[in-house]
Structure 1
Amino acid sequence: MAAGEDIAIRRKRLRYRAWHRGTKEMDLVLGPFCDAHVERFDDAMLDRLEALMNEEDPPLLKWVMQQEEPPPHVDRAFLELVVSDHQARIER
């Protein structure tokens, strides 16, 4: 496979994962986020997305809803992109 095909497959896989998290709440946060942004993400940004998506849904939802502070290992700058995107969607 060519490098461009690899990233296209990775983007498709991450979009699928975003919409099939296991909890509907996180599907509705990460699914629209990926639909809106993942096609523009390079490998580094996809790495950041994948790291966040590797977190468990219950704590991740609390971080997105700003009910709890994420632990130090979480990429807060990237999490803030997800939070801002989600807030913009619910304010429409």
Structure 2
Amino acid sequence: MPTDHEPRRKKLKLRAWRRGFREADLILGPFADRYVPDFTESELDWFEIILDQPDQDLYGWILERAPTPPEFDGPLMDRLKAFRDIAHKSGPNG
């Protein structure tokens, strides 16, 4: 029986856009808009845990200024890191 994750998806997208750390918002918000609608349940779990991490830590991992802890490293973090370049090129209105 399929589970409707739409309320959870909306909440995660809102959290991604409203972290209070503008630089992270401008990467995580568009990333969430683009990918969260198609995330599986396990991907939603990962993203939710990622959003619980301190802003400075998460931003450092995304920019590769600090090593990503093994528990967060993997294909989804790789996708997020690759997306930062797309978000940076398109700017806040892109």
TM-score interval for Structure 1 and Structure 2 normalised by the shorter chain: 0.7 to 0.9
Cα separation, 1, equivalents of 2:88 and 2:31: 12
Q: Deviations over 1:25-77 (max 9, x none)?
A: 11111000000111111211101111111111001111111111022332333
Unaligned runs of 5+ in 2: none
Instruction: Report percent identity of matched pairs.
Output: 31
Question: Any idea what SS the aligned residue of 2:8 has?
Answer: helix
Query: For the aligned residues, what is the CA RMSD?
Result: 1.6
- Greater share of helix residues, 1 or 2? 1
| Residue equivalent to 1:63 | 61
TM-score by length of 2: 0.84
Q: How many residues align?
A: 89
**Where do 1:1-92 residues align within 5 Å?**
3-4=3-4, 7-92=5-90
Unaligned runs of 5+ in 1: none
Indicate how the Cα distance of structure 1 residues 72 and 3 shifts in structure 2: closer, same or farther if over 3 A, else same.
Answer: closer
Cα separation, 2, equivalents of 1:13 and 1:31: 12
